[in-house]
Chain A
Amino acid sequence: MMAAPLRRRARARLDRWLRGRTPSALPVRFDRHGIYVLPTRFGAFFAVLLTTMGLGALNYNNNPALLLCLVLAGAAVASLLHAQLQLAGLEVRAIGAEPVPAGSTLKLRVHVRAAPGRARRGLRVECAGQAATLSLAEGGGEAVLALPTARRGWFDPGRIRISTTRPLGLARAWAYVWPEAPLLVYPAPEPDGPPLPLGQGEGLQSRLHPAGDDVHHLREWRAGDSRRAVAWKASARRNALLVREFEQPLGTDVVLDWDMLAGQGRESRIRRLARWIDEAERGMRRYRLRLPGQPAIGPGSGQAHRHACLRALALLPGEADAAR
């Protein structure tokens, strides 16, 4: 009976110890156990200065000098506490980023909350060599870190360090958070490549286009319509201005097939497909993505479809993994 709470407590302690050493689920709240405080270089200098003063004052039994030294030392100790309290009670609520193609910078957003009341300003958020400033207002704040990306796939930013040297710059207090939620990096699209493969149609698709060849239908005139588009005869018949609408046959749904690109390297296939997805999206076409070992995605178009396709591309196993 007694074992359960004990085990739970041990478990909690282990979790705390592991935070910063292993990824953990958000939100993460910093309490005093997870916050480290060490003097900065200036802090070490200040300590030497105060020690010198204190020794001199004690030796000469010079009480004003000793008082000066002790008041400074007291304020310095208080500043250590303040530095720690800047982080204590801070809660990292969310860490996320919009996926970007590999090679461009990922905007990592760290969202933090804390009980209002204590001023927490100028906190430094560091991750993978990049840094940003975080200031809480009204109990919340967000820092945006620009992280460079290199490879498609899951991106683990690693530990994020939140630190501060305020109020006096004598000591740095810091805490780590290692978010479990991974970030995605899409494959970088091929810069120049062949145009979209058209014509292996699967069902006709057409789209209204003012410069089309075939008249699709007539509709009522709306302000802004070109005068040339007015169907004068029909208008005279109906006693209302009618406008011709044209349509452009768009051929077929585009099929982006992995197997179509046989003979190329794996990564270059992925990059070409990524480019075609973007082109199809720009041309407002419906497209279907066929990748090996998984059901085809689509046909479809729009942001959700694009993200699904790019995500599937991003997560394709790499060369080495595929060989196994």
Chain B
Amino acid sequence: MLTPAGRAWALAAAAACLLPLLPQLPRTLAAGTVAVALATALLSRRGPLPGWLRIVLALALVGTVLVTFRFGVGRDLACAVLAAMLALKPGELAGVRDARSLVGFALFAPFATFLLDQGPLSLLLGLGGACLALAALLQLSADESGDPQPATVPGRLRAVLRLVAIGLPLALAAFWLFPRIQSPLWGVPDRVLAQPGLSDEMAPGQWIDFMSDDRPALRVNFIGEVPDTSQMYWRGPVLMDYDGRTWRRPRWLGRIPAPEVARAPVRWEYRMEVEPTDRRTLVALELPGAIPEGAQAGGDYVLRTAPLTRVTRWHMQASPPRTFEPRLPALVRQAALRLPEGYNPRTLALARQWRAEAGPGNDEAIVRRALAMIRDGFGYTLDTPLPGRHAADEFLFDWKRGFCEHFSSAFVILMRAAGIPARIVTGYVGGYRNPIGDYWVVRRNDAHAWAEVWLAGRGWVRVDPTAAVAPEHIYDTIDDRASGGGLAGLPGITPVLDFGDWLRRGWNDLVLGFDAARQVAILLPIGLERTGVRGLAALFAGAAGLALAWMLWLAARAERSGDPVVRAWRRLGRRYARLGLARAPHEPALQWVERVAAARPGDAGALRALGRRFAQWRYAPAAAEDPRRLARDLRRHRPA
């Protein structure tokens, strides 16, 4: 029953649906899945695989997945299991029914992809997979009907695109107008394996990976005043706990209430669009003013939200603090002074020496001294060796080179050893202004780590030890590395990239960021703000009705002849059909013309001439006239 063509289409559809999911899986797992899928498809060419082999393969593959994800439960694990199952499904392809279930099952793969990633490439591949799945269904249905006429691949795809195009108005009406759920009924399961990005910890060397990732992290539109780029510090996770190797964010920090803050008179207002990170931390410029809905500020004044699994948009205010937590709670003070025993003896000794020289209470002098030391003798480079046990000692006294991770970490250890409460703040610094669309892009490689020290009377004060490096001592930076390869180095490419990002922003704005709130917002201009969901439902019903009517008209319109002359000739025939002189199906053109001429002598001359020209064009095309003129004349003719 299942023809080779049907089988090939079903397999192609499954492969196309699996394709967008693969880049979202760990690389080894993706390769394994592809290998198993190919093997299954090849082995089952002559018939379904035996049951025991399928079970063995399934167990092996699912086992591999579980091990890769260290037996954690999350949506990336679920997606990997789905991919594995899809890779094995061709092994049981026997009839049309199996092929259909394969195609239906395969459609979950693009869906799963969108739970992990919503980029344009994923969407493009996903929709391509869906179209191929529909084409496979077409082929299977043709097989089932027993129609022997074969169809070409472009023909099938054209038929699918036609179906999709006919259904598109309905789909779009539902997309924009179908009432959305205000808050989720159930939460999104987390991922097991973290994506690179700002996290709640900082370990040596870990940052290099995502500092070469130039995907956008934020897009920001300032309303009114724009801060200076060098002062754009986007505060993210605050790290206080240090174990000699890794800096971590203490959990309790998010649970204690936001501290007392006195703000400087400067105020910036901006709209921020955050690319999905799967994290709960929402970075914000300086200190956020009003806390936006859906976020809470913790003891470090960093905003926490539900996991940012999709593009979210926030309306924020920011101002630099004049005083930030001037009364330091004992708990925080302890955490901001704690150092692990038995690490970095040289650093501790230096700090104690500085404290002795500065005397008690003169914290600012110590901070200045540290910055001066960095300015005089330190260099910036991404090319650093892996640290040993005493990371700060090695950095401060041996290499004297590193990047933000090293600078901030050593600086905070130095401060704490000198008795100054200090902590690391991670986030982004700066941004790039896209002249197209006039907004700021903060990329992932703008990630940065700096420090905050607590000074009496002022509270937490931002200190960026990396920025203290003298410009002539900056050696190997991200920009140097980026210009070595990739597109960014090409001359004249910048406007293209800018335009690309602007398109992406529009896509985020119109499609990805569309939610219940925005949906209600589109009702405002048409005066439906009061009716809310009911108005939306009515609007949806209306639009869906219109779309259905359009579908009916489009589908019911008989497929027209591709030739304009034939089309014009048929239309002419319809004009006479309205007068009761329809051409019978078996009637030759000229015979019909004669019949009409006899019935309507008034039209006889013109119609005879047209009929002759049409017959000439149809049956002796070599000698015939320009078809465009004939089509035009045919269109113009009206029964008198």
Contact = CB atoms under 8 A, between A and B. Distances in A.
Nearest to B117: A64
Given A70-B174, A76-B167, A122 B556 contact: no
A145 B351 CA distance: 100
Nearest to B122: A64
B111 A53 contact: yes
Given A61-B310, A68-B114, A121-B145, A85 B555 contact: yes
A260 interface: no
Contact of A59 (B100, B144, B170, B186): B186
A77 B167 contact: yes
B559 interface: yes
Contact of B558 (A65, A73, A78, A115): A115
A29 to B, nearest CB: 14
Nearest to A76: B167
Interface string B428-445: 000000000000000000
Given A70-B174, A81-B551, A168-B141, A64 B149 contact: no
B262 interface: no
A74 B164 contact: yes
Given A71-B167, A72-B130, A169-B140, A123 B145 contact: yes
A159 B126 CA distance: 45
B110 interface: yes
A296 interface: no
B561 interface: yes
Nearest to A65: B114
Given A60-B309, A123-B145, A139-B585, A67 B140 contact: no
Interface in A105-123: 113, 115, 117-119, 121-123
Nearest to B170: A74
B171 interface: yes
Greatest chain B CB density within 10 A among A58, A73, A170 is at A58
Interface in A163-196: 164-170
B167 A61 contact: no
A205 B461 CA distance: 133
Contacts of B309: 60
A61 B515 contact: yes
A72 B122 CA distance: 17
Contact of A77 (B140, B170, B186): B170
Could you tell me the dominant secondary structure of chain A's interface residues?
helix
B512 A64 contact: yes
A218 B77 CA distance: 103
Nearest to B123: A64
Interface stretch (B177-185, B601-609, B628-636): B177-185
A75 B167 contact: yes
B114 A133 contact: no
Nearest to B510: A63
A170 B144 CA distance: 12
Greatest chain A CB density within 10 A among B159, B558, B560 is at B558
B449 interface: no
Contacts of B118: 62-64
B163 A64 contact: no
Interface in B115-171: 115, 118, 122-123, 126-127, 130, 134, 137-138, 140-142, 144-147, 149, 159-160, 163-164, 166-171
A76 B104 CA distance: 13
A58 B140 CA distance: 31
A68 B110 contact: yes
Nearest to A83: B141
Contact of B138 (A49, A59, A167): A167
Given A65-B111, A166-B142, A167-B159, A60 B310 contact: yes
Given A74-B164, A166-B141, A59 B185 contact: yes
A62 to B, nearest CB: 6
A122 B114 CA distance: 37
Given A49-B107, A72-B134, A169-B140, A133 B551 contact: no
B1 interface: no
B116 to A, nearest CB: 10
A60 B188 contact: yes
Contact of B141 (A49, A70, A75, A169): A169
B511 interface: yes
Greatest chain A CB density within 10 A among B127, B163, B512 is at B163
A85 B162 CA distance: 15
B71 interface: no
A71 B555 contact: no
Given A139-B585, A167-B141, A70 B175 contact: yes
Contacts of B512: 63-64
B180 A61 contact: yes
A196 B556 CA distance: 63
B146 to A, nearest CB: 4
A251 B174 CA distance: 88
A133 B141 contact: no
A136 B124 CA distance: 37
A111 to B, nearest CB: 14
A118 B309 CA distance: 47
A66 interface: yes
Interface in B551-569: 551-552, 555-556, 558-561
29 contacts: A45-B104, A49-B107, A56-B111, A58-B180, A59-B181, A59-B186, A62-B310, A64-B122, A67-B123, A69-B111, A71-B167, A71-B171, A74-B168, A74-B169, A74-B171, A75-B167, A76-B167, A78-B167, A78-B555, A85-B555, A118-B558, A123-B145, A164-B145, A166-B142, A167-B141, A167-B163, A169-B137, A169-B141, A170-B137
Interface of B: 97, 100-101, 104, 107-108, 110-111, 114-115, 118, 122-123, 126-127, 130, 134, 137-138, 140-142, 144-147, 149, 159-160, 163-164, 166-172, 174-175, 178, 180-181, 184-186, 188, 309-310, 511-516, 548, 551-552, 555-556, 558-561, 585
Interface of A: 42, 45-46, 49, 53, 56-79, 81-82, 85, 88, 113, 115, 117-119, 121-124, 133, 135, 139, 164-170
Given A61-B180, A64-B122, 8 more contacts: A63-B310, A71-B130, A78-B551, A78-B555, A85-B555, A117-B560, A139-B585, A167-B163
